[in-house]
Amino acid sequence: MRAVVIDTPGAVRVETVADPVRPGDDGAVVAVRAAAICGSDLHFYEGDYPLAAPVALGHEVVGTVVEVGPQVHTVAVGDAVLVSSVAGCGRCRGCATGDPVTCVSGPQVFGSGLLGGGQAELLAVPAADFQLLRIPDGFDTEQALLLTDNLATGWAAARRADIAPGATVAVFGLGAVGLCALRCAIAQSAGTVLAIDPVAGRRRRAALSGATVAADAAAVLDATHGRGADAVIDAVGNDATLTDALHCVRAGGTVSVVGVHDLTPFAFPALMALVRSITIRLTTAPIQQTWAPLVALIRAGRLDTTGIFTDTLPLADAPAGYARFAARSADCLKVLLTP
């Protein structure tokens, strides 16, 4: 099969690799219909994470089940499914909560070097009953892909931000996850959502989603008359945005971080956070927990999923897709790959 791999920063390629083998009696193999490039993938592409060996990329996948083991009961060959980007064993006390991050055996992420990558023609899925969800009736490919990671992460970011009805929420980073978090904050009854991103076109997209544009952390303080936002969502996760988030949240407020940091330690201003009684939460989304509420909100028309994907390319053009996505322009927010 063909798969997207990387072993040198900036040098994504599509190569022929061995077809995956079904991972045990509770596993499945999925023929990939569509996969997406995520901001987390850029950490390999931009050299933030070491590459000791080639890594097969991709953790946002929808497709068709082509093989199941005898212990798989919730999906069957021929089913159209979406795959949780984070995998758990599906049997332990942690997975019983619907949160693979709390898996006792340790969570794994597709396309991280621990499990196969989803930007490929086939994907082996362990614990298929836990990892796979039949695509809900009426959902299109883009909606299903968002449920594998970005929308689930945006939902978790807003939930973990302690948003009270009418609260003022600031969102740093208006890529796919930030835009999803912004929309989820509105769905969770935020009053005002302040949107911060250096790219003007991305700020305009946020405004169309119901946000108020803010230039930077100082603008958040100005908009709140010096008090600070009740909650801040950081969908970037670098040193600059983490620092800004901590300085523009109000005393007693919450900073919710879902942006993925690099491997360099962050100098956390512990005394300032202590004196101001700030709550800080860093979250890898409990993907499976989010499916029921998100499906219900989308069906009810209360959560807009349009306008996140901006580019669709064949798998063979993945190198061009990565280069375009890494430019972080106003025009390219999210890239969909079709094997």
Model confidence pLDDT, tens digit, residues 192-251: 999 999 999 999 999 999 999 999 999 999 999 999 999 999 999 999 999 999 999 999
pLDDT, position 217:
96
Whole-structure pTM value: 0.96
pLDDT, position 129:
98
Q: Which residue reads 């390999």 in tokens?
A: 44
Q: Which two tokens stand for residue 295?
A: 């499906």
Q: Is the pLDDT at 52 greater than 90, yes or no?
A: no
Model confidence pLDDT, tens digit, residues 129-142: 999 999 999 999 99
Model confidence pLDDT, tens digit, residues 85-111: 999 999 999 999 999 999 999 999 999
pLDDT, position 107:
95
Q: Which residue reads 């009696």 in tokens?
A: 25
Phi first, then psi: give them for residue 59, nearest 5 degrees: -135, 10
Tell me the sheet residues that pair with 67.
Answer: 29
pLDDT, position 53:
85
CB of 81 closer than 8 Å to CB of 134: yes
DSSP characters over 165-212: TT-EEEEE--SHHHHHHHHHHHHTT-SEEEEE-S-HHHHHHHHHTTPE
pLDDT, position 299:
97
Q: Mean pLDDT, to the nearest integer, of 51-70?
A: 95
Tell me the sheet residues that pair with 249.
Answer: 229
Measured distance CA(163)–CA(156) in Å, rounded: 12
Residue 247: name the closest of 167, 148, 325, 172 by CA.
172
Mean confidence (pLDDT) of the chain: 97
Model confidence pLDDT, tens digit, residues 154-182: 999 999 999 999 999 999 999 999 999 99
Decide the pairing of beta strands 132-134 and 212-213.
unpaired
pLDDT, position 114:
87
Helices (H) and strands (E) in the chain, counts: 11, 18
pLDDT, position 135:
98
Q: Which residue reads 């499976």 in tokens?
A: 288
Quickly state the pLDDT bin for 64 (edges 50, 70, 90): very high
Q: Is the pLDDT at 321 greater than 90, yes or no?
A: yes
